[in-house]
Structure 1
């Protein structure tokens, strides 16, 4: 594993908005009372469960904080103590799924983890990301619509990983190529291909596998 991958490895804090338990941070002057802590844990669980239902039932871009609060049965003040906006709620829901994939990239068996040729690792990464999008597309759309995706910790992690593979394969100018290599994984593109064009996940995966092999093919010799 490269130094870049080690520096980019922050699976436990990639998407955090505030602390990992939101409004469970202890106030100045003393610890949080046990009752308040229990209430905060329950409220956060209700918020995330309600938000996941809403993101799955409607266009994620139309989900509002008012609707999340009502669906969760909590007040607006309680909701805003943990999350500033709907995308941050979606980010919290995606966090665990993405951290599991990050751990596999760093510590898992090849070809997803270290030990396989760069082209095979990129192909495995593409297929793993397609699986994540297939299962959690509404959350990905709610959390990473448009240019905001480039500012998330997860994108930064994927970028370090793919850039490392490009460098290993000797791709010229990996800094320019890495975002091009990641572009096919945009949630909006996946939704367009799967749900508007009706292209199967397997067909998309086969195309990305072919792309990985072409992008990271060893240079000709002789």
Structure 2
């Protein structure tokens, strides 16, 4: 749900104390979410839990939503490592269609598991981040290019597939007060629909069809 966390170019190194404070705050935030739920996480409470000043929390995260964006970014980085370096079919080694299906299923599960954090990461004073699915779009674009099929305008197709994959979850999260994350049945149905969509899209053409 956030922008890319894979760095392009060499990032500027953080000071050791800044890195240590960041990890301390993230660990404290995860513990608070696990013990009390996202609703109870506040800037003041996080500062107290981590044993740091409130100013440090504000400098690191900016807003309460920034706390959850940082948690999500950290988990996104782990997810991306699985995609880029993990075992197939999610990671390299499987054919592109199989990887696309595996990616969609894993991504839907990831979004469901992070439902509460993703909701809390959305700043209600800012537009819903409908255009920030960069990693999914880039990955799907790459896989589409490796199918060997005569697919036209891969960039637009990757955008449409990204919307089909992540759009339903985004629309759900944008509702004022969803009572719970999508049920396992809904999650499985979305994953099955994704697989059907990919299989239909990448099915080799058998020749012209005629209808009577």
Q: TM-score, normalised by structure 1?
A: 0.65
Alignment of 1:65-104 (within 5 A): 65-66=43-44, 68-69=46-47, 72=50, 74-104=52-82
- Return the match for 1:116 from 90, 94, 104: 94
Match of residue 137, structure 1, among 115, 119, 133: 115
> Residue 175 of structure 1 aligns with which residue?
155
Deviations 1:5-35 (A, max 9, x none): xxxx973x48xxx978xxxx44xxxxx7xxx
Alignment of 1:49-68 (within 5 A): 49-52=27-30, 53-54=32-33, 57-58=37-38, 65-66=43-44, 68=46
Normalising by the residue count of structure 2, what TM-score does the alignment of the two structures yield? 0.67
1:1-222 superposed matches below 5 A = 11=6, 13=7, 25-26=14-15, 37=17, 41=20, 43-52=21-30, 53-54=32-33, 57-58=37-38, 65-66=43-44, 68-69=46-47, 72=50, 74-143=52-121, 147-148=128-129, 150-151=131-132, 155-169=133-147, 170-183=150-163, 184-186=165-167, 187-189=169-171, 195=180, 198=183, 199-221=185-207
Shift of 1:207: 1.6
Q: Answer 1 or 2: which has greater helix percent.
A: 1
Instruction: Note closer, same or farther for the CA distance 1:218–1:108 as it changes in structure 2 (3 Å cut).
Output: farther
Q: Cα RMSD over matched residues?
A: 3.7
How many correspondences in the alignment?
A: 190
